[in-house]
């Protein structure tokens, strides 16, 4: 097998060992550090009684996502060209991820940061963990990290430069977080005006996000996890104000069977509540943000949830009803604050951003609050 024109040694080596089983393995490895995976994984940490660890990993993940994705969109460096590199995207998650820019590798950032932090937690804070379990756990984390990092090159999603940049940023972020974790956690649990501060900061982070050369899903990933952190902070703060206890830790070190049975009970109670909260919040947020925007007189659009809002059809009531520019202007002039439309500097606001932020905030809030049901049901 000869090396193709413009193909690096790494690309050639990756192409020479391609196999369907490796395709499946590296695709799965890339999924375990995705936003979707951690959105589903974090409830397990909360509901297993490890709320301190869950808080820290949620905040660290949010920092990694914001730093990595904002640098991606700021630099706007393309992914490796295909061909000569084979880009393997068998799942919808990988297809959507391939629309992002390449530098740095956010999968690498997330994997390095969270693996190092989790191993540090096991060494310093995991009470009762035997040394015989510590090193196998570290070896497992190291193996997963290597699989994810190399898998990004194997799947054709990143170049070695992207990976090296991701490693450096990941190490920097996890070292920084280890220094400030206790201060941030104390502020969330005991500080003053926490809810007001964090709500304002969530909005400012959205506003400060850099604009890429072309639209990518990176901003959507940040918005979702920004909402997760916002909901978690609200939930933990209100829970602390009501002096509620954390969910009882699972007796993993004493009985695996009892731990699994207890966790299954909590999942059977918690998952339907969280699913209902997410669906309900999406509907209510979509309707409320849309109508508030129309009432205030802000031009709006929707890239995903309500595409019929785009362009001059922003205020139409039926899909088949055409609406002219004059009718749009007339509707805005009859709104409560029509001056926003006439100032001319307002571009249409994407209501999807607000909907996604509130949807994931309610989802995270419900994950924290459902622990109250565990206490009532004594599980």
Catalytic residue list: 107, 158
Nearest to 47 by CA among 186, 249, 211: 249
Task: Tell me which H or E stretch contains 349.
Answer: strand 349-350
On the question of a cis peptide bond just before residue 82, with omega within 30 degrees of 0, the verdict is no
Q: What are phi and psi of 237, to 5 degrees?
A: -65, -45
Burial of 24 (0-12, 13-18, 19+ CB in 10 A): exposed
CA pair distance 103, 180, nearest whole angstrom: 27
Structure tokens at 250: 């699972």
- Are 129 and 52 in contact by the 8 Å Cβ rule? The answer is no
Other residues' Cβ atoms within 10 Å of the Cβ of residue 180: 12
Q: What are phi and psi of 159, to 5 degrees?
A: -95, 165
Detail the DSSP E strand segments found in 54-142.
none
CA pair distance 193, 198, nearest whole angstrom: 9
Q: Rounded to 10 degrees, what is the CA torsion of 179, 183, 184, 185?
A: 110
Contacting residues for 291 by C-beta, under 8 A, at least 6 apart: none
- Are 185 and 233 in contact by the 8 Å Cβ rule? The answer is no
């Amino acid at each position: 097998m000869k090396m193709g024109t413009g193909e690096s040694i790494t690309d050639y080596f990756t192409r020479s060992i391609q196999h369907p089983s490796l395709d499946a393995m590296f695709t799965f490895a890339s999924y375990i550090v995705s936003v979707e995976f951690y959105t589903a994984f974090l409830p397990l940490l909360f509901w297993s009684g490890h709320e301190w660890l869950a808080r820290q990993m949620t905040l660290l993940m949010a920092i990694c996502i914001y730093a990595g994705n904002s640098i991606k969109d700021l630099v706007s460096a393309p992914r490796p060209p295909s061909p000569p590199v084979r880009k393997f995207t068998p799942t919808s998650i990988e297809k959507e991820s391939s629309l992002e820019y390449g530098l740095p590798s956010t999968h690498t950032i997330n994997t390095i940061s969270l693996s190092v932090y989790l191993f540090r937690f096991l060494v310093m804070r995991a009470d009762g963990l035997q040394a015989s379990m510590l090193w196998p756990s570290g070896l497992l984390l190291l193996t997963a990290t290597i699989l994810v990092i190399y898998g990004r090159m194997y799947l054709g999603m990143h170049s070695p430069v992207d990976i090296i940049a991701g490693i450096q940023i990941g190490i920097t972020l996890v070292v920084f977080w280890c220094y400030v974790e206790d201060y941030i956690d104390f502020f969330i649990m005991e500080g003053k005006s926490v809810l007001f501060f964090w709500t304002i900061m969530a909005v400012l982070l959205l506003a400060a996000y850099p604009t890429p050369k072309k639209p990518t899903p990176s901003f959507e990933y940040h918005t979702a996890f920004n909402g997760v952190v916002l909901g978690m902070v609200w939930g933990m703060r209100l829970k602390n104000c009501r002096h509620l206890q954390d969910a009882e830790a699972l007796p993993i070190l004493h009985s695996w069977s009892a731990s699994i049975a207890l966790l299954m009970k909590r999942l059977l109670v918690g998952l339907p509540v969280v699913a209902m909260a997410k669906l309900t919040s999406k509907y209510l947020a979509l309707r409320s943000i849309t109508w508030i925007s129309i009432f205030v007189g802000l031009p709006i659009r929707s890239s995903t949830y309500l595409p019929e809002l785009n362009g001059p059809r922003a205020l139409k009531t039926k899909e088949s009803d055409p609406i002219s520019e004059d009718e749009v202007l007339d509707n805005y002039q009859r709104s409560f604050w029509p001056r926003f439309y006439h100032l001319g500097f307002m571009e249409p606001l994407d209501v999807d951003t607000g909907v996604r932020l509130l949807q994931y905030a309610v989802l995270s809030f419900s994950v924290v609050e459902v622990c109250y049901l565990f206490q009532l049901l004594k599980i």
